[in-house]
Amino acid sequence: MPHYWIPNSSRKVRQEMLRETGVNDIEEFFKDIPEQLRLKRELRVGFGRPLLEHEARRKFLEILSKNKFTGFADTHRVFLGGGVCVHYVPSVVKAIVSRAEFYTAYTPYQPEINQGILQAFFEYQSLMAELYGVDIVNASMYNVSTAAAEAVRMALRVKRGRKRILIASSAHPEIKEVIRTWVKGLNARLEEIPYGREDGELDINALHSKLSNDVAAVYVESPNFFGIIERKLCDIIELAHDVGGLAIVNANPLSLGIFKAPGDLGADIVVGDAQPLGVGLNYGGPSAGILGIQDRRELLRQLPGRLVGMTKTVDGSENGFMLILQTREQHIRRERATSNITTNSGLEAIAAAVYVSLLGAKGLRRLGEALLGRTTYFLETLRKRSVEATPLFEKGLYFREVTISFKGKDAKDVVSQLERHGIYVGPPLSRFYDAMHDCSLLCLTELHSKEDIDELVSKLALVLGGEAR
Amino acid sequence: MKYRQARWDEPLIFELAPNQDRETFQLGDDYFAKLGKEVLAEVARNIVREEDPNIPNLSEPEVVRHYTRLTQMSYGIDVGVVPLGSCTMKYNPKVCEDLANDDRITYAHPYMSEEHLQGLLEILYTLQEWLAELTGMDICSLHPPAGAAGELAGVLIIREHLQDKGYTYKDEILIPESAHGTNPASAAMAGFKVVRIPTDERGNTDLNALKAAVSERTAGIMLTNPSTLGLFEEKITEISDLIHSKGGLLYYDGANLNGILGIARPGDMGFDIIHLNLHKTFAAPHGGGGPGAGALCVKRELADYMPKPLVRREGGRYYLDYNVRKSIGRITWFYGNIVPAMKSFIYLMMLGPKVREVAEVAVLNTNYFMKKIKELPGVDLIYGRERWRKHEVVISFEGLHRKTGVSAEDVAKALLDRGIHAPTIYFPLTVPEAHMVELTESESKETIDEVISAYKDIVRQAYEDPNKLKEAPRNTSVGRLDALRANHPRTLVPTYKYVKRNVGR
């Protein structure tokens, strides 16, 4: 049946082309498919018949409107955390990634005709390298969870013979799960390092006792899953290096306008998620995984994923950009490749580059400060109004996300009560840890005004007990 | 065709307005920024960033103009034909973009309760059902963020399933030498040994070689059908029986599904596990490299091994099911790449049961092209010369290269000069001087004729004035780039930091 997306589907063109090809019937082309494998019926796909555009729009919106969540208008009441939070997507970012020259392009295998997109990727790599304090950042991974898993795999290759990976217990539980899945084919041992009960930071003594010269890498997050900044990151990295291991640090890019870059503190491999950099939440994906390394041969050789480099034209007259070091990749090295990754998150990487260019160093610093200010304000207000809730780690330094304890009250229950009051908080930590049944995460971003935070505290007071105003 | 690409001398963002310090886009408000600054003053110095990162401070219009100029020096399917083989560069309908950009998706938090996102979950669930029907499989998940991630999940399922059965000695995966590079890379990631199987003259997997390679150690085979040569595997049923008889599993690489959509289904051919690339067959855009989305589908017997969580329905309610008994675990955090999935849902809703038209026209386009191109002097098909192709065709310029010195790469660059994106070149590795051409259903007869006449013109030029072709491309934003310099350790520039260092040198 002819369709306006398919130019040659009109009967006349089809016949003409078949004739020129020397074939009477389109079925000729499929004769080498064994008869019993040829589908003799129409597929049960769609809604009974092809829908016209306006019909499809109506259908799509009809289904989507079953969501109670109504989109941006609701975001001032969305305090959900857990690795990703509501952040504003500037119109400039949307406008640039909606340019069809970018979003309908393939991977730029032909560099001369795709200089623009290659330069954009090069700028992404460069901007992230500045932010994270490393020399090299690749053209992106799927998201931070797979970037972390690839970083661990990479460490096991770089430190061949070493089989242990030490992971901060305070790392995102889903990232830990992803790492566990991705190393299944390797003979590696993942061990967790506990965190301090008072400050939520990695327990340095525990780390010390677990370290030995069979450790390939230490993986740590800052801020960690509980929203806590690791203030002894420098020591952690040094301890890993002392036994000849690598330090892999996962940092939130928005924290790096105000906190020291992990690369500058000595991390060998850095990872992060571009989600807060104008990418949107997208129900968890797509996002882009940031993966960076220091300029060391053994690291570069094992780096997975695409990399864009700057070069010159053959005649030396002009600068240009192209994919480099492709012999690491699957389409050339096959089973000996550093990874199987092909498709990455190009468009989100561009979004991140545009976002960072738009805010500049100044805007990133201010945003970092404003985010830090919000967690502080929230915790102060909570205390001032004697709400029956406290930060789980009293001595921790929280950034953006806070782990809050409802003092024995079931967190799932509290969260659903808040939801009835139109406030989204979570995830409750019983989802990940049985022992934390009375705890929940909570996130405060630039989308929450002072009034919004006051309202959150009021609703917490209402549900948990405390002064409503 | 005449083509002149934009040629902006656009500086790097770092050098756009050197030494300027403009007011930049603000998201940090005064009240909280001041508070944050106070808190920061109390924090130990060794973790506070004292010096700003080297990120320029630019105004909004400067940033917009910069990136807009970069788009003008880029080439996507909306600009012209992109016949990259095995990449299925089809038109990305605007309505899909439009609708998937909905705020309710952009700002949907992955930990929001299912009750508040029933609409979104319904779309994901429905798409899973449609994909199962399209492929003849029992259960699909949208969990893998791309095709390669789906492959990793798939081979891990093979691994865990065989271990459960006590077949721990099964450590070999068979892969045809014409397969996509991701297949051997994925198998190796999951700890398997890769055994290469040659291709026979007709372009099928060499059945005798396969029989010789199959043993008790065979864990499975990874195939794409139609193959990267664009040829349907004629003995697929025998292959399936052979592998299954040894207790192995069949994995299907869905990259090439466009050639048999609605015509034959991998599930019916005996495949146990498949992945699909929503950003290929199902019209989600490539984004210049990503994001993709890779659905994973299996037969009922393997459902318990699927990655967690699965989107399920019970009594009209949609939910995330974490109770997957023998799950291989998570391939990614959260639930996969949702936005491309939304686009594929809209695409399939608009084609509905008539989706077969896609494959018919894609195959017609390819064969029409092949019929005319194989007549050119110095051009050969190598495998299955007398067979019809499906979604793509691989042509070899080996003869041309031998006679004129003009290589597949030279031909590719000359195509760029005519406003045509080059096909995949030097792949599959088994075909010398290869061009792997995929003309999807989105291309008109006129466009295909243009591609054909461009090839004709280039081949003629190769015989008349081969040196001229070495100078291509001339009409693109830059001339041919120096790959040696780009890759040499001493001249490597992977980030701006190296530009600064080299200036100092």
Q: Which pLDDT tens digit goes with each residue over B335-371?
A: 999 999 999 999 999 999 999 999 999 999 999 999 9
A 246-265 residues with CB < 8 A to B: 256-261
Cα B100 from Cα B238, distance rounded (Å): 43
Please indicate whether, in this complex, the C-beta atoms of B333 and A172 are within 8 angstroms of each other: yes
Q: Which residues of A28-44 are buried (b: 16+ CB within 10 A; e: fewer)?
A: ebbebbbeebebeeebe
Mean pLDDT score, B226-243:
97
pLDDT band of residue A465 (cuts 50, 70, 90) is confident
Interchain proximity A125–B330, CB inside 8 Å: no
DSSP state of B94: H
Closest to B391 measured CA to CA, from B290, B271, B292, B277: B277
* Nearest one of B365, B377, B460 to B414, comparing CA atoms: B460
Q: What are phi and psi of B114, to 5 degrees?
A: -55, -30
Q: Measured between alpha carbons, how far is B406 from B399 in angstroms, rounded to an integer?
A: 10
Q: A258 and B110: CB-CB below 8 Å? A: no
In sequence order, what are the residues at sequence separation of 6 or more whose Cβ sits closer than 8 angstroms to the Cβ of residue A194?
A169, A203, A206
Interface of B with A in 221-240 (CB under 8 A): 231-232, 234, 236-237
**Strand segments (E) across A225-365:** 246-251, 269-273, 289-293, 308-312, 319-323
Residue type at A61 in one-letter notation: L
B303 touches chain A (CB under 8 A): no
User: Is B413 in CB contact (< 8 Å) with chain A?
Assistant: yes
Model pLDDT, residue A329: 87
B103 vs A contacts (CB less than 8 Å): 71-73
Whether pLDDT at B505 is above 50: no
Q: What does residue A329 show for φ and ψ, rounded to 5 degrees?
A: -95, 165
Distance from CA of B397 to the nearest CA of A (A): 18
To the nearest whole angstrom, how far is the Cα of A384 from the nearest Cα of chain B? 16
* Average pLDDT over every residue of B476-494: 96
3-state secondary structure of A273: strand
Q: Is the minimum CB–CB distance between B467 and chain A shorter than 8 Å?
A: no
3-class secondary structure per residue, A363-431: HHHHHHHHHHHHHHHHHHHHHHCCCCCEECCCCCCECCEEEEECCCCCHHHHHHHHHHCCCEEECEHHH
Q: What tokens appear for A240 in the block?
A: 């890993």
Q: Are A202 and A193 within 8 A, CB to CB?
A: yes
Amino acid at A229: I
| Band of residue B503 on the pLDDT scale cut at 50, 70, 90 | low
Given a cut of 80, is residue B502 above it in pLDDT?
A: no
The token duo for B188 is: 């190796």
pTM to 2 decimals? 0.98
Structure tokens at A207: 């780390």
Cite the beta strand spans of B139-203 per DSSP E: 139-141, 172-176, 193-197
- CB nearest B332 (choices: A143, A281, A347): A143
Q: Do the Cβ atoms of B73 and A116 come within 8 Å? A: yes
Residues A48 and B61: their CA atoms lie apart, in Å, by 48
Task: Give residue A40's pLDDT.
Answer: 94
Name beta bridge partners: B139: B298
**Residue showing tokens 């429905």:** B126
**Residue A117: closest CA among chain B residues belongs to which residue?**
B74
For a pLDDT cut of 90, what percent of chain A falls above it? 96
> Is the pLDDT reported for residue A143 higher than 70?
yes
Q: Is the dihedral of CA A403, A406, A411, A414 positive or negative?
A: negative
* Cα B411 from Cα B431, distance rounded (Å): 16
Residue B478 to residue B70: CA distance in whole angstroms:
13
**How many Å lie between the alpha carbon of B36 and the closest alpha carbon of chain A?**
4
How many Å is the Cα radius of gyration of chain A? 26
DSSP 8-state symbol, A78? E
Distance CA B53, CA A364 (A): 10
Distance CA B298, CA B295 (A): 10
Count of H-run helices and E-run strands, chain B: 18, 12
Mutation site, A357, A378, A403, interface B, largest B CB count within 10 A = A357
Residue B11 has pLDDT above 60, yes or no: yes
B267-277, pLDDT tens digit by residue?
Answer: 999 999 999 99
Handedness of CA B56, B60, B65, B67 (dihedral sign): positive
Mean pLDDT of A261-287: 98
Tokens of residue B241, six digits: 């029986």
- Number of inter-chain CB pairs under 8 A, A vs B: 739
Question: Distance between CA B251 and CA B231 in Å, rounded?
Answer: 18
Nearest chain A residue (CA) to B343: A60
Q: Does A196 touch chain B (CB under 8 A)?
A: no
**Chain A touched by B112 (CB under 8 Å):** yes
- Is B356-484 the same fold as B98-353? no
pLDDT at B292 over 70: yes
pLDDT of residue A469: 65
Q: Which of A8, A62, A308, A365 to mutate to test the interface with B (most CBs of B within 10 A)?
A: A8
Distance CA A159, CA B453 (A): 54
Angstroms from B137 CA to nearest CA on chain A: 13
Average pLDDT in the A35-51 region? 96
Q: Write out the E strands in A205-340.
A: 215-222, 246-251, 269-273, 289-293, 308-312, 319-323
Partners of A360 on chain B (C-beta within 8 Å) are: 22, 24-25, 55-58
Which of B466-486 are b and which e, b meaning 16 or more Cβ less than 10 Å from the residue's Cβ?
eeebeebbebbbbbbbbbebb
Query: Would you call B147 helix, strand, or coil by DSSP?
Result: helix
In angstroms, rounded to a whole number, what is the distance separating the alpha carbons of residues B192 and B172?
6
Is residue B404 a contact partner of residue B377, using CB atoms and an 8 Å limit?
A: no
Residues 311-330 of B with CB under 8 A from A: 328-330
Give the gap in angstroms from C-alpha B114 to the nearest C-alpha of chain A: 9
Chain A residues 409-428 within an 8 A CB cutoff of chain B: 416, 419, 424, 426-427
CB contact under 8 A, A114 and B130: no
Q: Which residues pair with A219 in a beta bridge?
A: A167, A248
Domain B98-353 has CATH 3.40.640.10: yes
Residues B178-222: tens digit of each pLDDT:
899 999 999 999 999 999 999 999 999 999 999 999 999 999 999
CA-wise closest residue to A190 among A229, A223, A231, A156: A156
Average pLDDT of span A161-188: 97
Mean pLDDT for A397-414 is: 97
Asked if B215 has any chain A CB less than 8 Å from its own CB, the reply is no
Structure tokens at A139: 């053209």
B-chain residues near A359 (CB < 8 A): 24-27
- The answer to whether A229 contacts chain B (CB < 8 Å) is yes
Is A70 at the interface with chain B, CB within 8 A? yes
Q: Closest to A17 (Cβ–Cβ): which among B268, B364, B479?
A: B364
From B223, B258, B230, B276, select the one nearest B436 (Cα to Cα): B230
Q: Is B68 on the interface with A (CB under 8 A)?
A: yes
Domain spans of chain B, in order of start: 13-72, 98-353, 356-484
Do the Cβ atoms of A352 and A274 come closer than 8 Å?
Answer: yes
Residue B491 — pLDDT band, cuts 50, 70, 90?
very high
Distance CA A396, CA B299 (A): 49
The architecture CATH gives domain B356-484: Alpha-Beta Complex (3.90)
B146-177: per-residue pLDDT in tens? 999 999 999 999 999 999 999 999 999 999 99
Contact B423, B435 (CB under 8 A): yes
* H or E segment to which residue B395 belongs: strand B393-396
pLDDT, chain A, mean = 97
Q: How far is B301 from chain A (nearest CA, A)?
A: 21
CA distance linking residue B149 with residue A341, whole number of Å: 7
**Rounded average pLDDT over A184-196:** 95
ipTM score: 0.98
Q: In this complex, is the C-beta atom of B95 within 8 Å of any C-beta atom belonging to chain A?
A: yes
Helix, strand, or coil here: A251?
Answer: strand
The helix/strand/coil state of A292 is: strand
Chain A closest-CA separation from residue B504 CA (Å): 16
CA atoms within 13 A on the CB side of B38: 11
3-state class of A452 per DSSP? helix
* In chain A, residues 276-315 whose CB comes closer than 8 Å to chain B: 280-286, 297, 306-315
The nearest alpha carbon in chain A to B33 belongs to: A370
Backbone region of residue A404 per phi and psi (left: phi > 0; alpha: psi in -120 to 50; beta: other values): beta
Task: For residues A177 and B332, give the distance between their C-alpha atoms in angstroms, rounded to a whole number.
Answer: 8
Q: What is the mean pLDDT of residues B430-453?
A: 98
pLDDT at B504: 47
d(CA A245, CA A191): 14
Is residue B45 classed exposed, middle or buried when 0-12, 13-18 and 19+ CB atoms within 10 A define those classes? exposed
pLDDT, position A331: 85
Q: Please report the DSSP string for B255-273 in residue order.
A: GGGGGTTTTB-HHHHT-SE
**Rounded to the nearest 5°, which phi and psi values hold at B381?**
-100, -15
Task: With beta carbons less than 8 A apart as the criterion, state whether B291 and B147 touch.
Answer: no
Q: What is the mean pLDDT of residues B288-300?
A: 96
Taking the CA of residue A427 as centre, how many other CA atoms within 13 Å lie in the half-sphere pointing to its CB?
19
Domains of chain A from N-terminus onward: 7-60 (no CATH), 73-88+361-464 (3.90.1150.10), 93-354 (3.40.640.10)
